Amino acid sequence: MDKRAYTRRLRAATALTALSAAMAATAAPTVNLGNVGYVTYGDARSYSLPIAGLEVMSGPGQISVFTKLGLGADGQLGNTNAGVDDAFETPNANTVEGFRTTTANEPNSLAGQLDGNWDRPGWWDASLSALNAELNLSSNSLVFFFANNEIGSGEDRASLAAWMRVEITQISTNSILGRFDLSNDFNQDHVSTYGGLPTFDGSGGSGIILGDTGLYTAPGALTDAGRQDPYLADFVRSGGPVCLQSVPGGEIIVDCAGSYTRKVEHNLGGDRAAYAIVMPELDQIVTNLMKTPGVNLADYAIHVDYRLGCGSETGFSAIRAQPKQNQTVGDCPDKYALNGGDEKLFLGTQAVTPDNPVPEPGAIALTAAALGAMAWARRRLG
């Protein structure tokens, strides 16, 4: 074999190896959340990535391996597979109070025409077959990641209000198989403690440590007409520091105004995720479909509605008179406002396994540092 032929073959083999490695990396699980503590918000388990010591990078060039639902305009809004919406463009400047997914800002359907029977106006959508091609849902389950990118490190200005709903549908029957909410109002009485201390029984008016997502049912009948908008009480507080004090067997959350062993920030910027969100009941539906012989995955779709900062939902008008430092975003208080921009929401995976085992005692002590209770470190315990 002459040298040029050998070189060509070597380059081809190298390219094939690189392509195979890239495909394997895309399908490989993003994180392992087994034995990691969590706080339950409605239908969602929320994990603090920095406290768990997990790093999921989402900067330019890094986010391309994920399925993107929302990010700032940095030239990476596109998702490569047909059957998957491109990402919504989240605000990238300090000029708005909040963000909502709507028909007006939907990336693929601005002309009012949908991209396929899997698409829904005003939501981020994907066919299950397209997601499976990207994420290998036979071996992996869905994990939503959120990167918090607010102004500064102050407790109020580093945080914002967040809510998310996910629905899974069968296209041929025009039926909603499941509706799942990330909600701070576990008992749906429209009253909650924004940034409240998570407890094991919900008495803190916020998230429930190691809570059972089966105890919450997203409101409304499983029809388009039965769908209900969230209230202010449903919004979870995202961002801000959590202070931890070492104790025998683990760590406990303490007031950052006092002594602590370490302070963990969750306003990490747009280049890394602070939170991982898992919806076990959604995962169960997907897993059952993947195990169904002869199933047509193209007949199923996933739809996501997510909202950041202040909006018009019931209850927001009552908070607009609260003090605020950031006058450039209107009447929305800092701790609710989207006052930084370039927040990112994207999809990755964890390996499909039996339900995550109960965390070790040390991990249980850390669970109260997951999504939304960013004020936990602001309140004195006891």
What pTM was estimated for this model as a whole?
Answer: 0.85
Where is pLDDT greater, at 56 or 8? 56
Instruction: Provide mean pLDDT across the span 188-194.
Output: 94
- Any alpha helices (H) in the chain, and if so which ranges? 3-27, 49-52, 128-135, 280-290, 361-366
pLDDT of residue 73: 64
- List, in sequence order, every beta strand (DSSP E) within 90-247: 98-100, 124-127, 140-147, 160-170, 175-182, 208-209, 236-238, 242-247
How many of the other CB atoms lie within 10 Å of CB of 27? 17
Mean pLDDT across the chain, nearest whole number?
82
Share of the chain above pLDDT 70, in %: 78
Could you tell me the pLDDT band of residue 368, with boundaries at 50, 70 and 90? Answer: very low
User: Is residue 306 predicted with pLDDT exceeding 70?
Assistant: yes
pLDDT band at 292 (very low <50, low <70, confident <90, very high): very high
Structural tokens at position 86: 């491109």
For the purposes of burial, counting CB atoms within 10 Å of the CB of 228, is it exposed (0-12), middle (13-18) or buried (19 or more)?
Answer: middle
Distance, in Å, from the CA atom of 309 to the CA atom of 239, rounded to the nearest integer, reads 12
CA-only gyration radius of the chain, Å: 21
Cα–Cα distance between 312 and 90 in angstroms, integer?
18
Going by pLDDT thresholds of 50, 70 and 90, the confidence category of residue 113 is confident
| Residue with the two structure tokens 């991990």 | 363
| Top-ranked range on mean pLDDT: pick from 75-79, 281-285, 339-343 | 281-285
pLDDT, residue 74, reads 63
Residue 7 reports pLDDT greater than 60: no
Give pLDDT tens digits for 16-66: 333 333 443 456 899 999 988 899 999 999 999 999 999 999 988 888 889
Higher-pLDDT residue of 253, 144: 144
pLDDT score, position 360: 44
Contacts of 104 (CB under 8 A, 6+ apart): none
Give per-residue burial for 268-285: e unless 16+ CB within 10 Å, then b.
bbbebbbbbbbbbbbbeb
- Of the pLDDT bands very low, low, confident and very high (cuts 50, 70, 90), residue 308 is very high
pLDDT digits (tens, 9 = 90+) for 123-147: 999 999 999 999 999 999 999 999 9
Q: What is the pLDDT of residue 65?
A: 83
Query: How is residue 381 written in tokens?
Result: 């315990």
Task: Summarize pLDDT for 203-252 with one digit per residue, the tens.
Answer: 889 999 899 999 999 999 999 999 999 999 999 999 877 778 898 988 77
pLDDT given for residue 375 in this prediction = 36
Provide the pLDDT confidence category of residue 273 given band limits of 50, 70 and 90. very high
